[in-house]
Amino acid sequence: MTDNEVNTLKTDVALIKKDIKQIERVFDKVDHAVGDMAELHKIAAVQETILENAERRIENLEDTFIKQTEEELEYRKELNKTLNDMKEDAQKQRERRHKEVLESIQNMHTTLSSKLDVQDKRIRALENWRWWILGASAALIFILTRYDALMSFFG
């Protein structure tokens, strides 16, 4: 082998060594990138789990919200029905009390009218009695004042 060939071989070996070092650096970078990717994959898996948990929570909240909305609507329907029933009952009671009050007033009117009629009859009887007494008194006074004249007329 000649010097030229040895130099070429040395150069080739040096180039191969340089290439191997570059390949080693590339593999180190690839290993580092793979490690970073593995770390990112772990982070992505954690984030995916967090998102799944958040989605489940949101679905649970939506289900709870829908359930409570339905319960609220049912409660409002029952409340409205109860209020309407109470309103109708109150109206019936008012009408019943109104009739009772009117009947009571009518009974009082009838009672008072009959009592007033009785009192009017008694007052008329007393007034008639008074006029009889006044007339009899007037006749007696007339007779007593004219007693002497009457006695002379009859006697």
**pLDDT (tens digit per residue) in 1-22:** 678 888 888 888 889 999 899 9
pLDDT over 90 for what percent of the chain?
77
Amino acid at site 110 = T
Two structure tokens written together for 72: 């609220």
The most distant pair of C-alpha atoms in the chain lies apart, rounded to whole Å, by 216
Q: Assess contact for 110 and 103: CB atoms under 8 A.
A: no
Average pLDDT over every residue of 55-84? 96
Rounded CA separation 46/59 (Å): 20
Model pLDDT for residues 73-124, shown as the tens digit of each residue: 999 999 999 999 999 999 999 999 999 999 999 999 999 999 999 999 999 9
CA nearest 35: which of 84, 52, 43?
43
